[in-house]
Amino acid sequence: MSGELPTLRWGIVGTGLISSWFVHDLALDREDAKARHIIQAIGSSSVDKGKAFVEKHLPGQSPTIYGSYEGIYADANVDIVYIGTPHAFHKQNCLDAINAGKHVLCEKSFALNAKEAQTVFDAAKAKGVFVMEAMWTRFFPLTRTIQSLLHKEKAIGSIHRIFCDFAMDQNIASLGPESRLKNPALGAGTLLDTGVYCVTWGLLGSDAEIGEKAQKPEIIAKQTLVDGVDIATSAVLLYPNGRQAILTSSSIVKTKSVFCTIQGTEGYIDIEGYTSTPVSFTVYSSKVGSSKKYESKGPGMGFYWEADAVALDIAAGKTQSEIMPWAETIRVLGILDEIRRQGGARFPQDETA
């Protein structure tokens, strides 16, 4: 890696599953890296947990380990805070980091609802720091290629329908009430956990624009609730031109390997892999009667694409990403809010946000 690349020193808040995936990817050697990433510090509920995380996921590295999140916010050697806690804590973790003058990359779903997200972005604007929702799927080169084929090259003609599913058997019944997948006060349910990716594919497949410039679809939704938590959600985004995005999530069954199909007047695209992590897609053109497969390149899972983009944005003095701007996070959360309003899933914090 070249010494001229922008460098970001990351402080990691929370040492659960996603933080382990994120730091693993950032530590990979990549020939085409656009930035240098240093895991500077780890913030956890206990120093022992932080140490165990470093031994397992950052062997050979020695970040500063704090038995609190405050240590990260106060560390002058940390440039940006990565938030990998359950949804219900994102708002406060973001506010604490922003108040300390740190840039922030916060996991999806960015907050419990659009109102919480607006509070965070207002604080970021006042402080002049960079903040982004870690919707990493949007930064995959494959995703960018699909958007270009759909909206610039019109490879499948006029887009008519999008089907997207994210289902995993999460054995919810076996989990304790403290689990982020089971406890409504932690933001549990498929919609914020996995359905948010389907909404993402529905939006980016339907429209070249994002945020305030994007079209506003009508939303029709149903949810299956167990103890107030959605174990399945189905939603339709109905566009003024009749285009439909049919979006489903479940924690009971498993998505098939083609997780998304986009149908147009002159062909269709099948996208394969995981709904968060596309690994290939195939374009079938009914116009020329042929198909073309595109495959992903790169080691690890692909978190470095969003991390590199963040580093370049911060180096350029930006406070928002053009790929995942604040208005797009607000739009997505507004759609999730409406799906929950129709479907019935509520979080206790909805009343007080």
Ligand X SMILES: NC(=O)C1=CN([C@@H]2O[C@H](COP(=O)(O)OP(=O)(O)OC[C@H]3O[C@@H](n4cnc5c(N)ncnc54)[C@H](OP(=O)(O)O)[C@@H]3O)[C@@H](O)[C@H]2O)C=CC1
| 263 touches ligand X by CB under 6 A | no
Judged by beta carbon distances under 5 to 8 A according to partner kind, the member of ligand X, ligand LJPVP2WV, none in contact with residue 40 is: none
State in angstroms the smallest separation of the CB of 290 from ligand X.
34
User: Rule CB under 6 A: which of 239-278 touch ligand LJPVP2WV?
Assistant: 276
Task: Select the residue interacting with ligand X from 11, 71, 84, 264 (CB under 6 A).
Answer: 84
Residue 303 phi/psi, 5° resolution?
A: -70, -20
**18 lies in the site for ligand X, by CB under 6 A:** yes
For residue 109, whether the previous peptide bond is cis, meaning omega lies within 30 degrees of 0, is yes
Residue closer to ligand X, measured from CB, 192 or 203: 192
DSSP notation for 136-169: GGGGSHHHHHHHHHHHTS-TTSSEEEEEEEEE--
3-state secondary structure of 37: strand
Closer to ligand X at the Cβ: 17 or 288?
17
Structural contact between residues 280 and 6, judged by C-beta atoms closer than 8 angstroms? no
**Strand arrangement of the beta sheet that strand 277-285 belongs to:** 218-226, 229-238, 244-250, 159-167, 258-264, 267-274, 277-285, 290-295
Helix (H, G, I), strand (E, B) or coil at 189: coil
Taking CA 183 as the corner, what is the angle to CA 99 and CA 135, rounded to the nearest 5 degrees?
A: 50
Single residue of 8, 10, 11, 15 touching ligand X by CB under 6 A: 15
Per-residue b/e over 171-187, b at no fewer than 16 CB within 10 Å? ebeeeeeeebbbbbebb
Applying CB under 6 A, among 75, 79, 107, 308 the residue interacting with ligand X is 107
Query: Which among 198, 185, 226 has a CA at the least distance from the CA of 86?
Result: 185
Q: How far from each other are the two terminal CA atoms of the chain, in whole angstroms?
A: 44
Among 40, 44, 233, 261, binds ligand X (CB under 6 A): 44
Among ligand LJPVP2WV, ligand X, none, what binds residue 44 when CB lies within 5 to 8 Å by partner kind? ligand X
Residue 106 Cβ vs ligand X, minimum distance, rounded to whole Å: 8
Spatial separation of the C-alpha atoms in residues 258 and 236, rounded to whole Å: 19
Piece of the chain touching ligand X by CB under 6 A; list 81-89, 154-162, 287-295, 308-316: 81-89
Total of chain residues touching ligand X, rule CB under 6 A: 19
From 75, 116, 193, 272, residue interacting with ligand LJPVP2WV (rule: CB under 6 A): 193
Among 17, 126, 208, 288, binds ligand X (CB under 6 A): 17
> Applying CB under 6 A, what is the total number of residues that bind ligand LJPVP2WV?
3
Residues that bind ligand X (CB under 6 A): 14-18, 44-45, 49, 84-87, 89, 107-108, 136, 180, 193, 276
Residues that bind ligand LJPVP2WV (CB under 6 A): 193-194, 276
